[in-house]
């Protein structure tokens, strides 16, 4: 299973989510490869901190706009159960390369209608990739949601018009995410009883079901319906 966290907009939590999902998979006993495709190198820095502190972590490698080529990521990923790609904002060539090799593309979006509108450019890239690879599955994830506000619901309504399924899982705006990354951990290990940990476990579980084509909320096609 190769999952790319992608999108043209920055500041929506792609790197944090990719790292925490990768760490959750490690905690579940999977062999995990985390591909840092973002020049900012957040995932690589996290991996270095984890290594220095003796934390169990995913294998972290850096790749760019050539990861889709023969002998690159697909070949490397065969040694792992789960591969997570952290894509940068705005670098269209890297995003296209990631989409050419991924099974699932996740588009994080902030909790406002304006965040949802900002996905338009990424949706075009996704559709282009699906023309070439109809097996590519894509979905939207609401991130940085603040509790007790109506923004999440309004964003979900706008996002639902995109043509892509919106995951039931949502990630809140929580300090535990940043604290976990700084400690070289994923949030499920750093603070296992925090709501952030519950969110990441639910997200990982839903992504596995999405990858296998199973539905839990009616928002995407089941294997039975597809067959």
Q: What is the pLDDT of residue 148?
A: 59
Beta strands in 110-202 (DSSP E): 137-145, 166-172
Regarding predicted confidence, which is higher, 163 or 152? 163
Count of domains forming the chain: 1
Least confident of 81-85, 93-97, 153-157: 153-157
**For 95-112, what is the mean pLDDT?**
92
Under a CB-based contact definition with an 8 Å cutoff, are residues 81 and 25 in contact? yes
Dihedrals φ, ψ of 150, to 5°?
-90, 0
The two three-digit tokens of residue 51, written as one number: 């290594």
The tokens 């043209």 sit on which residue? 8
The two three-digit tokens of residue 12, written as one number: 């929506």
Domain that holds residue 119: 2-226
How distant, in Å, are the alpha carbons of 68, 87, 211 from that of 78? Answer: 14, 20, 17
**For 179-192, what is the mean pLDDT?**
95
Q: Residue 109: CA atoms inside 13 Å, Cβ hemisphere, count?
A: 35
How distant, in Å, are the alpha carbons of 11, 17, 26, 60 from that of 90? Answer: 12, 18, 29, 22
pTM: 0.89
* CATH number of the domain enclosing 103: 3.40.50.300
What pLDDT, in 10s, does the model give residues 5-16?
998 777 788 999
Residue 59: which H helix or E strand, with range? Answer: strand 59-62
Least confident of 32-36, 164-168, 197-201: 164-168
Check whether 217 has a pLDDT greater than 70: no
Under a CB-based contact definition with an 8 Å cutoff, are residues 35 and 87 in contact? no
How many CB atoms neighbour CB 17 within 10 A? 23
Q: What is the DSSP letter of 102?
A: -
Average pLDDT, the chain: 88
Check whether 223 has a pLDDT greater than 50: no
Q: What is the pLDDT of residue 114?
A: 78
Nearest to residue 144, comparing CAs of 171, 104, 166, 126? 171
């Amino acid at each position: 299973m190769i999952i790319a966290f992608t999108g043209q907009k920055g500041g929506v939590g792609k790197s944090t989510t990719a790292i925490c999902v990768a760490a959750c998979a490690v905690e579940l006993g999977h062999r995990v490869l985390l591909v840092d495709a973002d020049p900012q190198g957040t995932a690589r820095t996290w991996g270095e901190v984890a290594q220095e502190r003796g934390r169990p972590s995913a294998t972290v490698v850096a790749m760019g706009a050539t990861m889709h080529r023969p002998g690159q990521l697909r070949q490397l990923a065969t040694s792992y159960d789960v591969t997570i790609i952290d894509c940068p904002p705005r670098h269209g060539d890297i995003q296209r390369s990631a989409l050419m090799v991924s099974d699932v593309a996740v588009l994080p979006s902030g909790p406002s209608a304006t965040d949802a509108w900002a996905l338009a450019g990424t949706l075009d890239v996704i559709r282009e990739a699906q023309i070439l690879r109809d097996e590519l599955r894509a979905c939207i994830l609401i991130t940085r949601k603040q509790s007790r506000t109506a923004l999440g619901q309004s964003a979900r309504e706008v996002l639902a018009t995109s043509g892509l399924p919106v995951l039931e899982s949502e990630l809140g705006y929580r300090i535990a995410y940043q604290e976990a990354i700084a400690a070289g951990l994923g949030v499920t290990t750093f603070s296992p009883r925090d709501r952030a940990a519950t969110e990441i476990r639910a997200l990982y579980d839903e992504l596995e079901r999405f990858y296998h084509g199973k539905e839990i909320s009616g928002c995407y096609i089941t294997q039975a319906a597809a067959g």
